[in-house]
Amino acid sequence: MAHKYEMRERVDELITHFWRNGYLTLSRKFGKYLPEPKPIGGYSVDAIGKFKKKYVIGLILNENDIKDPQTVAKLNFLATRNTQNREVRVTLFLGIPAKMIYEASLLIDKTVPEAKNNIKIIPLPN
């Protein structure tokens, strides 16, 4: 299990990726100034961002999450969300330890086609 400090660094890395893609961070875990994101459908997420009318959910998976059979259901649920008022899909940015990218891509291949198109893998330092 990653220590709180390691998780904070991973969330920081995810937020940096949000910024590089033009997203404004609305909420994040381990932040000083922003609130923690509320669970979505009972699933805990690490960050939420917005660019114009597009939303993005940031989720960090560790080795245990990637091996957990329940993770596919979680990814299917989160990656098929729509924004509240329009038929715009929410993008899911998945923070994955760099050494687990291949395993994560196999996991994403098991998701439903609508979800697969909305998931972007973000390699994080190990």
Question: Over the stretch 73-124, which tens digit does the pLDDT of each residue have?
Answer: 999 999 998 877 677 788 999 999 999 999 999 999 999 998 999 999 999 8
pLDDT at position 93 is: 95
Q: Once rounded to an integer, what is the mean pLDDT over residues 39-59?
A: 92
How would DSSP label each residue in 11-56? HHHHHHHHHHTTPEEEEETT-SSSPPPPPBTTB--SEEEEETTEEE
Domain boundaries, the chain: 4-124
Per-position b or e across 2-16, b if 16+ CB within 10 A of its CB: eeeeebeebbebbbe
Q: Which two tokens stand for residue 89?
A: 């899909």
Q: Residue 2 — very low, low, confident or very high, per pLDDT cuts 50/70/90?
A: low
pLDDT surpassing 60 at residue 1: no
Q: In 10 A of CB 105, how many CB atoms?
A: 13
- 76: tokens are 């299917």
Over residues 32-46, the mean pLDDT reads 92
**Could you say which DSSP state residue 69 is in?**
T
pTM of the predicted structure, to 2 decimals: 0.90
pLDDT at 71: 93
- Span 45-49, mean pLDDT? 95
Nearest Cα to 63, choosing from 94, 95, 97? 97
At 39 the pLDDT is 93
Instruction: Write down the architecture of domain 4-124 according to CATH.
Output: 3-Layer(aba) Sandwich (3.40)
